[in-house]
Structure formats: C-alpha cells, structure tokens
Structure 1
Amino acid sequence: MNYPSKGIGVELLIKLYKDMLKPRMIEEKMLILLRQGKISKWFSGIGQEAISVGIANAMKNDEYILPMHRNLGVFTTREVPLYRLFAQWQGKASGFTKGRDRSFHFGTQEHKLIGMISHLGPQLGVADGIALANVLRKQKHVTAVFTGEGATSEGDFHEALNVAAVWDLPVLFCIENNGYGLSTPTSEQFKCKNLADKGVGYGMEAHKLDGNNILEVFTKVDKLCKELRANPRPVLLEFDTFRMRGHEEASGTKYVPNQLLEEWAKKDPISNYESFLVSEGHLDEIKIKEITSEIQSEIDENLQLAFEEKAIELDESKELNDVYSSFDYQEVEHGSAIKNIRLVDAISEGLKQSMKKHDNLVIMGQDVADYGGVFKITEGFIDAFGKERVRNTPICESAIVSTAMGLSINGMKAVVEMQFADFVSSGFNPIVNYLAKVNYRWGENADVVIRMPCGAGVGAGPFHSQTNEAWFTKTPGLKVVYPAFPYDAKGLLTTAINDPNPVLFFEHKALYRSSYQDVPVDYYTLPLGKASVLKQGKQVTVVSYGAGVHWALETLEDSPQIKADLIDLRTLQPLDIETVYQSVKKTGKLIILQEDSLFGGVASDISALVMENCFEHLDAPVRRVASLETPIPFAKNLENNYLPKARFKAVLDELLAY
C-alpha cells in the first residue's frame, strides 16, 4: 500500500496504529467469549478498522458520528469506557441500554455517538437532522454517518441523500463497501460500477477510497471535514474494503470463494500499516510488544469489571416507566380574551404560539412554507419565522421523520406535517422502530410531533381519508392525540410540542372548517391523558373521539329522552380509562363509537378493558360501532354507508333496550 504520510506527525501516525489495534484485539477476545457463551452475538469488523479509526480521528470530539455494528473502532477512538462496552454486550446494567438492546444499538450523548437500529436506513436521515440543527445554530460542525453497501438499495438512503443535497447539509455519507450483504454479493445488489457514482444523481460530491489504507482514509476525510466546516455541503464516500468474517459469526463465510479471502487478507489494514511504520523507523518489535501489552491489560482489566458485575435485576416498574421520557407537565392558564374560531384556526394558533415560545422548534412538511400547507395551517409562517424554521421538504416521509429525530438528538424540537395521515405509511418505520423505542433503549428523547390530517366524510377516497390511529396506539413509546374541538386542539397541541416524547397528533379534515368554538386568544396548555365528559346521564355511557364525538352529540341532541354520559377521549395514548370505568360503574352500559374500521381498533381495547375491570357493573354487553371492514370509498353514497354515523342510533337503541 502507498501511505500518504506527508504532513502527519509521528505521534499521530502511532496513534492511528494504536487506534486500529485496540478494536482488533477486542474483537479477537470477543470471538473467544462468543464461543464460550459469554456474549450472545457478534458482528465482526475485522479487516475494516481503518475506516472507523480514520474517520473518528479526522473529526472533532463534539461532532456527531453515527456508526454501525462493524464500527467498534469509532467507539474505542472516542474513548468510550471499555467496561461499559463489555457490559453492554453482556446485557448488564452498566452498559448503555440496561440490558434492553445488544451490540451497538445505542447512543451516548457524552461521546456524540448515535448507534443504529437494525433497519439501517433511518440513521441516514437522523444524520441529516443532526446536521440541520448545527446549520440552524450556525455551528461549523460535520456529521458522519455509516452504512453498508447493502443499505444503499433502501429508500431511506436515497431520501436522506436527496434531503442533504437540497438543504446543503454538512454530512459525510460513509459507505463501507465490504463485498457482501450477509451472503449476497455486490454484483447482485447494484448495477453501477461504483457506489460513489450514486452521488452524481443528487448533485453531490463523491469519492471512492481504499478503505484498508488508514492514511488515505484519514487524510481525505480530514481535508473534507475542514472544507465542510467552512462550506457546508454533503459528500458521499465509498470505502472499498472486505468483510473477512461472516455477517455475524453464526453465518460463517462458506459462500465466499477462498481466493477472495486470501486476496483481501493480504490487504489487512493493520499488518500493512504496521510494516510501513517499521520501515519508516517509527515502530520496532519492542514498541509493538509494549503497545500490545498495554492494550491487552486494558482489555483484561475492563473485562474483569464487566464479569464481576452481577446480572441485571428485573424491575418491572422501571421497564414500564422507561418506555416514555419523563415529562413534567406545566399547566399554563389562559386569560379571559376569547374568539370564535374553527378547528383549523386553533391548530394554526397553537403552532404559531409554540413557535414563538420555542425558538428551537422547526416545522417540516410538503408545501408548508410559502404555500402554507394544503390546509393553509402554516400560511404566513414564513413571514413570521423564516424559511430556516418553516421548511418545505421533498416528498420523502421516512427521511423527514428521521430528520426530525436527528433534530431532537441535537437539542431541537420538530413538528412534521404529514400532508395526509394516509401518507404516514411511507414514514412508518422510523416512527414505530426509532422514535417509539429510543427512550426505552438508551434514554434519548424523541421530541417530535407528527401532525396527521385524517378522516373521511370529504369524498377523498381510499388514500386521503384514513383514520389510522390504531397503527400507533398499540406501539409502546408513542403518544396519540385526537381532539374533536378547537379549544382542545389548541391546548393539546401546545402540550404535545412541550412533551419530549413522540406524539401523533390527529386532525380530522372534515372538522377543520366545520367545528367552531370560543377559544382563548392566549397561549395555554391542556394535559394529555385526560378525557372530557361532555354530557351526563345515568342510562348509558357513550365513548368516542374525533368526528365520532360530533356524531354522538348530534344523535343525543336529536333524542333528548336518552340520558347518557358522553365521553370525548381527546387522547388515545395515554388513555384516560379511569373516567370510562367511573361512568360505566354508574350507568351499567357502554357503547363505543369510532370512525376507524372495527377489528383491531381503539374501541376493541376499551371494550376488553371494561369487560376485564367492570364486568360486575355491566347490565348489557359492551357494544362497538365502527366503519365497514373495507377501504374508504370515494362516491358519496358509498362513503356514507362506510361510515358508522347512520348505524350508531340503531345500536344505541338496542343497547338501551337490553
């Protein structure tokens, strides 16, 4: 190998050697422990150390790196305590995830390292968000994110590159092209000659480097980092390397031709670099033994600490409490000034006042800037807050949700508008697998609100009418808010933005301009997880949310002889089930009305909870009324038949007559 050492001092040359040798020696020890059953799994980076070490040394310690499971050298170069890494791999408490996740599936703000999830792609968008926060704060920082050649086929890869390019974000997208995605060779994964060529399509600078040459990696990345700090822009880097062991140890390497393994073994980044340093007179056998002995002692001492630590103890209350970040709700009361406004206006006011309150809040979504959003909720926001904080996005829901997560990691807040709630399916993965799980896994906030214009009744057909709250209410770690009235919408939205947890905020499109209410002019908050009792009676309990509340109100007002408790849930997660229990114990009968189709919906869980906890108080079976088990049709008469509004009164009468 040709090592470009000009301008690099001897101390740094030796440090790069030590920094590569340490993860190699740790890995060799871990492979022994794996065979002894003392760790459960291992993803080897042997042969790829130069990439991790070169990049980590080229970056400043206060710049974020997003590594993957073969980047042990990033963690060791950043001097993450070895005993904590060893404890992490053994599922012990002094690791980073309290035994809840394994390998490198964690982050550490102290060391500015953000680990991946198994779905790979979302971390690329997270890097965009971290970099965006730096740009908005005018911090001249670079963010580096790793991925493998296999993940370059994922949509998240293309979305994240496009966002970074459009927004000129200082991100180094680092592809470790190591030959195989598990057992699938690169020839079966992409057709282009070089992965670096993909950068051209995004108007992005791209380079292909020898990933086994530590000095080539370090010098090029160091040069780029200095450039990007002065002139922010994304750069795509392809590192040519090879995976010398299996995808993980159980996979083996039988699918790899022996000749290929032999060729790459000759390109080993450590042995070649060691020979170079010896030839330059910077190392000798005595010095090598001293370095090796020093690293071995550090490994042994820290392993002993990890081995001596007792197995993690189960505390179920901690398991449940750590699903969500702690949130100290602050009640903000409003003044006496009110005005009669629509639901759409109340949401707009809540957003605008929150933008004034939180100068670190960013709104992102398709057409939310100059156009003001398709429902005009952010109309005029550009003039008030500027394009930096009110950002039009490309059509890439997954990357934008991940970008919002990155903003949160880097100390900011984000509100993402799904143009229609239906489109959230394109951003589903980072919501349910990243945002929802990040606090439970390693104690990180996901300070993100996702606005969800939803619902039928407006003749919008199967792809613009869904009310898909049940996709999220069953996912631990997410909060779900679904107001029916302007007053609630404004107060709950401001609270959702204050909350450091991820919140899905559902806004029914048919109510946007049909639901009016006197709403305080001032900023105020309302607590999540507290239902509203709109009517009181002793005959029956009616529970609903969203448009269903209005349907139930209309039915009860048309039938004044029915004396019902009408409960508007307002938030579905957390769910105020106690208010439902109290009402059912009084009335003895319960009917639940939801717009979503019946099977697997919120009504099913409420029904089950009431049957389990209030059975002795029931005088009749719990009844559920919901939409048909079909997609939402377009034609008005078909849509009317789909929705449960017309069927509700008949089922209510049956229940009362039971």
Structure 2
Amino acid sequence: MFYDKVFFLGKILLHLSIIYFMIASNKIIYDRNNYSDKELISLYKKLVKPRLIEEKMLILLRQGKISKWFSGIGQEAIAVGVCNALSTDEYILPMHRNLGIFTSRNIPLHKLFAQWQGKKSGFTNGRDRSFHFGSQEFKIIGMISHLGPQLGVANGIALGNLLKNNNQVTTVFSGDGATSEGDFHEALNVAAVWNLPVLFCVENNGYGLSTPSSEQFKCKNIADKGVGYGMESYIIDGNNILEVHSKVLEIAQSVRVNPRPVLIEFKTFRMRGHEEASGNKYVPHNILELWALKDPIENYQNFLRKENILSEELEVLIKEEIVHEINEHLRIAFAEEEISSTTENEIAGVYKHIHFIEKKPNQNTTEARLVDAISNGLDKSLEVFDNLIVMGQDIAEYGGVFKVTEGFLKKYGKDRIRNTPICESSIIEAAYGLSINGFKSVVELQFSDFITSGFNPVINLLAKSFYRWNQPADIVLRMPCGAGVGAGPFHSQTNEAWFTKTPGLKVVYPAFPYDAKGLLATSIEDENPVLFFEHKALYRSIYQEIPEDYYTIPLGKAKLLNEGMDLTIIAYGLAVHWVLDEFKKHQFSADIIDLRTLQPLDVATIYKSVKKTGKVLIVQEDTLFGGIASDISALISENCFEYLDAPIKRIGSIETPIPFAKNLENLYLQNDMIIKEVNILLKY
C-alpha cells in the first residue's frame, strides 16, 4: 500500500514537472516596443470586449435565446491584433471565431445580437445565421459553411485593389482544418502567380473539429506550405497580442508598398468545442491546462499590471463599461419583434432588381457565325464597361480554345484579359471577390463540363449572395457546351438543368448569332450571376446578319420563330435547329418557340401559345429525366390543363452519359424522334 502511494505521488510530480516545463518554455513574453500606455490600454479594451460578449452569448445559448455558437475563447488576440493592424478601409474576411474583428471595426452590438437572433435589423434579414454575412460599410466579408472559398474571394478583392492601384491589402482567415481543402491550395497558387496583396492568416488551433492537426497535414508547420507556392511565410504566437499586432502591422505596410501574398500561421488553441454542442472531451486534459495558462487576456492583463499601466480600479471600470454596453444593446435586440415576411418578399430578395433599358441596334449589319457574334458582343461590352475583367484558361495570347477572345489581349491588355491557372473553383471565387470590389467579370469555362470543378462557389456563393446579404455577384460564366461534335462524355454535356434548379442564378441559352450577341451584352449589364451557354456545334455552322454596334435583348423573353394553329413546339439551343429542320421538310402548322432564356423562363409566351394550339411538344438535348422539359410540362399541366387536347410530349436524350463514337452519339441524341411525335400529336 505504501509503495502504491509513493508511485501515485511520483506520477503526480512527474505530471506537474512536465506541465511546468511546457509552461516555462511557452511563456508569453511581451515587448512593448514603442507602444504608448494609451495604445496598450486601447488594445486591452479591444481584447476584453469580445471575451465578455462571448461569455454572455454562452449563457444565452444555454437559455435557447441564440441557436448556435462557435467559441473563440483563447484566440481573441489574433482577431483583435490583426484587425487593428489594418486600415478600416481594407477588406478583411474572417471566420467563425473572429468576433474581435467585428467589435474592432465598431459594428453596433445590437446589430450583431439581432443577426444571431435572426432579427430584421441584423445583416441577413434572418436568412442566414452566425457570421455568414458581409458588410460593405465595415469592409468585412463573412464566410459560408464551405470554408475554403473564402480564400479565393480574398484573391478577387485583392486583384481589384491592384487594378485600382490603391495600395491596400486584403486579409483572409482560415483554420488549420480548411488548409486541407483544395480551395486553400488553389487560392495560394493564384495569389502567388498574380502577386496579389493578400495576407493569408491561418489560425492553427490544434483541431479541425475533433481531428488533430497531426492528422490534417504532415509538415511540421502550416507556414512551411508557403515555400511550395513561392511566397514568404511567418509563424506568430497567436496568444501574444503585441506580437500579433506589431508583426502584422509591419507585414501589411510592406505588402502595400510591394504587393505580394504572405502566409501567416498563428499558433493558438481552441479552448472549447468546434461549436458548443460538440464539446471538447477529445482533447487531453493536460493540453487544456497548458493552454489555459497561456490565456491571451489574463497574460496581457498581468503584463499591464506589472508595467503599472492597468490598475485594479481601471480594469473594473473598463469591464463595467463594456458589460453595460452589452446589456443595453441586448435590450435593443430583444425588444425587436420576431422577423416575419411574405412569399412575395422572399422571392423578390433572390435577385437584385435590374432596371433594364433595352438598347436598340443601328441598321448597319454584317454576317456572322455564332462564335463571331459572341466574340463581338464581349468586345463591345469591354468597350462599354471599363471595369469589366475577362478571365479563363488560355484566353490571352492563345485567344481561348474556340478563339472567342483572339486579339483581345493586344486591345485591352493583361490587366483585363487574364490567363488563369487550371483551377475553376478559385477563379470563380476570385470573380466574386472582384464583384465585391466593384468590378464586372466574365469567366470562360473551356467546356461547360468543367464547371464541376467550380460547382461549390457557383451554387453556394454566387447564387445565394444577394439573398443572404444584398451583395450582387456581377459575374457571367461562359459555358461552351453540347453534343454533335464527337467529343465524348467529358466535353459534350449540356448541363443547364444543374443551374436552373438553383434560385439566384440566371441561365441563358441562345440558338442564333443575333440573340447571342444581344443576350451576352444584357447578361454582362445584369448584376446577377448568369450562366451563358454556347453550343459548340453551332459556333461555326450557323450564320446570321447581326448589328455591328452594341445592343441588348431582355432576359426572360422567348422568341416565336414560326406561327401556326395545330401545335406548340418549345425548344432551345441546338434543339431549335433540329425542330426547324423538320419543319422545313414537312411544313406542319405550329408555333415554334425558342426559349433563349431558361431562368427566368418566359411562361407567358408558352401559355399563350398552348392555349391557342392545345397540343405541346417540348424538345431538349439534355437527358429527359429531371430536365427543363419536365418542369415546362408540369407548368403547362398546372396552368393550361383545360386547354390541352392531347398529352404533353417530351423529347430528350437517352439516360446514359454522352458517348464518343458518332453512331452512338446519334443514338443518344434522339432528334430523329421529332417528326414521329409531331405526327402523333397532330393525329390525336
């Protein structure tokens, strides 16, 4: 029994000696440099404020008065130090644990509290939670739950700063877990290649939710990754407010003079769970004890006391003032009524309203192919909008794989015609950042199939941006698409239905050169995100007279190509030409509608025709199930049922990927079914 006690005491002494050694080797040493007493106290106030707010929020969370909380306790020195090292007119892109950024930018607390409670006076009209919002007023751009895109957005903002030549830096935050995402690597690579003035701030707090950093990356430090991208990097003690502030201040001043990206790793620790519901039982207790002794507020407070800068009376006074401010602003937020809305109001909030004024062309025309019309429309838009940037793979010297931008580099220069690395996701994110910074952009996807590599930012950033926080995504994505050229499963898809399903996106799909030029100009004028589909098989096979100058065509307006009494045929893209070919051969009486725009959809033109003819055939190139034809059929059934004299017929490709061999591709497309279905309907 005696030996057991001795052994037990020995284990305790060993444990304590290890902790003492770790504490001694990790002691926070403050160097006040040239900081005045007033500046040191100012930093203290800004450091304490988010801690006191968070302590209050944790109480409210337990009371069910807020829905979720991501704790930044123990990490406040990073947010406060970095934010206060920047100019207030420089963009900063925080994460969930960076409350100190919002308080350092002096956002009224009642607006933050209202945001967390889903109230009207918050930043998202109750449409999103937490820090998932941005504010142009305070130059803060919040994240979405898919954390990686934040880094690419910072690149776009920084590119805008370079183009404005305003000597500003952009600062973006990431956790250690998000450095495993492809977006992290793409963003750092793009920033390095383009010499963008971005500070990539990584808070290495030990865990990505419950997965330790040792299982996230193999290198010793996250800062080591900077070498691979040819950028300088630094490691900073994230719990030392003076080291954070002074070092970031120095780096930012340097980057303003010599634009370049810098990777900064802040060593810190997350003292609570990933979010409060998850807890932190997976963290060894001795690790929590160690980092508790490195608390950034308690250590800085003790330093100020030893320097005779912070008295007990002043400390109490500071905290009382902050607590009073918190309680007063909570009173304002709690007094606000629960949010309410209407279906009409919510739908109206999905897109930015555009006051469209159609620009008519002059009488001078020239014959052009579809590819020429698109090129000319883009060229004219670059002349009209000097804030328009075109980006894509091989679009500069090479002129793009389809030569749409041939000659543009010489005319507009590398600033506006930008070759990109092969990273669709990061470039679409950068386009969003450009929009935030007041630019328009057109991004060429070499093939619409490749949008899969950038699907997340399209669906979750661009589409939801205006609805969430009234920020337009002023972007056009050019989407060369379609079959008929023997390009196989990865270069032939017509994937428009992926995007018409997503509220917040507009989808345009012209079939003729005249429409392509005018609709592209309108899409670029529009401040909402537009996916502009261009059928490759039509690029050099369809000719038409087009006006030589700039003109626009309203989105959401279909075109009636032929008028008849017996049948309504609805199509778009290549399918329009299939229908016209059959019509020329067989001369049946039909309304032939070219949709031109799929989102918004011109239901008025569709319904008017259906009510006249009573019979409908919908033709699309895409596979049938889940496509546009299905929705149009449902809309007609629901709104024109009493006018129908026959079942609605649909034609689409067979339910397989697109094959390569010509005979198999012809089998896939099913366009030879058109006249058969027309005859069935006419005889019904």
Q: TM-score, normalised by structure 2?
A: 0.96
Q: Is 322-331 or 397-406 further displaced after alignment?
A: 322-331
- Return the offset for 1:398: 0.2
Larger radius of gyration: 2
Deviations 1:16-74 (A, max 9, x none): 11111000000000000000110011000000000000110000000000001110000
Gaps of 5+ in 1: none
Give the equivalent residue in structure 1 for 2:234: 207
Give the equivalent residue in structure 2 for 1:133: 160
Q: Where in structure 2 are the equivalents of 1:517-528 lying within 5 Å?
A: 517-528=544-555
Work out the CA distance in 1 between the residues paired with 2:440 and 2:38. 42
- Return the offset for 1:628: 0.9
Work out the CA distance in 2 between the residues paired with 1:593 and 1:542. 7
Work out the CA distance in 2 between the residues paired with 1:369 and 1:385. 10
Q: Where in structure 2 are the equivalents of 1:330-345 lying within 5 Å?
A: 330-345=357-372
Give the equivalent residue in structure 2 for 1:546: 573
Question: Which letter maps to 1:590?
Answer: V
Question: Which letter maps to 2:321?
Answer: E
Q: Where in structure 2 are the equivalents of 1:38-117 lying within 5 Å?
A: 38-117=65-144
Give the equivalent residue in structure 2 for 1:276: 303
Give the equivalent residue in structure 1 for 2:215: 188
Give the equivalent residue in structure 2 for 1:20: 47
Give the equivalent residue in structure 2 for 1:642: 668
Give the equivalent residue in structure 1 for 2:9: none
Give the equivalent residue in structure 1 for 2:617: 591
Q: Pick from 165, 175, 184 the counterpart of residue 148 of structure 1.
A: 175
Give the equivalent residue in structure 2 for 1:173: 200
Work out the CA distance in 1 between the residues paired with 2:69 and 2:325. 20
Give the equivalent residue in structure 2 for 1:353: 380
Give the equivalent residue in structure 2 for 1:622: 648
Work out the CA distance in 1 between the residues paired with 2:254 and 2:301. 30
Work out the CA distance in 2 between the residues paired with 1:96 and 1:17. 28
- Return the offset for 1:315: 2.2
Deviations 1:474-497 (A, max 9, x none): 000000000000000000000000
Work out the CA distance in 2 between the residues paired with 1:622 and 1:587. 12
The yes-or-no answer on 1:633 pairing with 2:673 is no
Question: Which letter maps to 1:639?
Answer: E
Give the equivalent residue in structure 1 for 2:7: none
Q: Pick from 608, 618, 628 the counterpart of residue 602 of structure 1.
A: 628
Q: What is the root-mean-square deviation in Å for CA atoms of aligned residues? A: 0.6
Q: Pick from 527, 531, 536 the counterpart of residue 509 of structure 1.
A: 536
Q: Is 3-12 or 440-449 further displaced after alignment?
A: 3-12
- Return the offset for 1:13: 1.1
Deviations 1:551-605 (A, max 9, x none): 0000111101x10000000000000011111100000000000000001000000
Work out the CA distance in 1 between the residues paired with 2:378 and 2:314. 62
SS at match of 2:605: helix
The yes-or-no answer on 1:382 pairing with 2:409 is yes
Work out the CA distance in 1 between the residues paired with 2:38 and 2:577. 73
Q: Pick from 397, 400, 409 the counterpart of residue 424 of structure 2.
A: 397
Work out the CA distance in 1 between the residues paired with 2:674 and 2:276. 58
SS at match of 1:239: strand
Q: Pick from 413, 420, 426 the counterpart of residue 453 of structure 2.
A: 426
Give the equivalent residue in structure 2 for 1:32: 59
SS at match of 1:437: helix
The yes-or-no answer on 1:568 pairing with 2:594 is yes
Gaps of 5+ in 2: 1-27
SS at match of 1:436: helix
SS at match of 1:581: helix
Question: Which letter maps to 1:169?
Answer: L
- Return the offset for 1:8: 1.7
- Return the offset for 1:323: 0.2
The yes-or-no answer on 1:241 pairing with 2:268 is yes
SS at match of 1:58: coil
Question: Which letter maps to 2:216?
Answer: Q
- Return the offset for 1:228: 0.4
Work out the CA distance in 1 between the residues paired with 2:394 and 2:605. 40
Work out the CA distance in 2 between the residues paired with 1:83 and 1:298. 9
Aligned residues: 657
Greater than 6 Å deviation, 4+ residue runs: none
- Return the offset for 1:644: 2.2
Work out the CA distance in 2 between the residues paired with 1:102 and 1:284. 39
Deviations 1:227-280 (A, max 9, x none): 000000000011111110011100011111111110100000000001111111
Work out the CA distance in 2 between the residues paired with 1:514 and 1:8. 71
Work out the CA distance in 1 between the residues paired with 2:597 and 2:41. 58
The yes-or-no answer on 1:220 pairing with 2:247 is yes
Work out the CA distance in 1 between the residues paired with 2:327 and 2:71. 20
SS at match of 1:111: coil
Work out the CA distance in 2 between the residues paired with 1:337 and 1:12. 67
- Return the offset for 1:3: 1.1
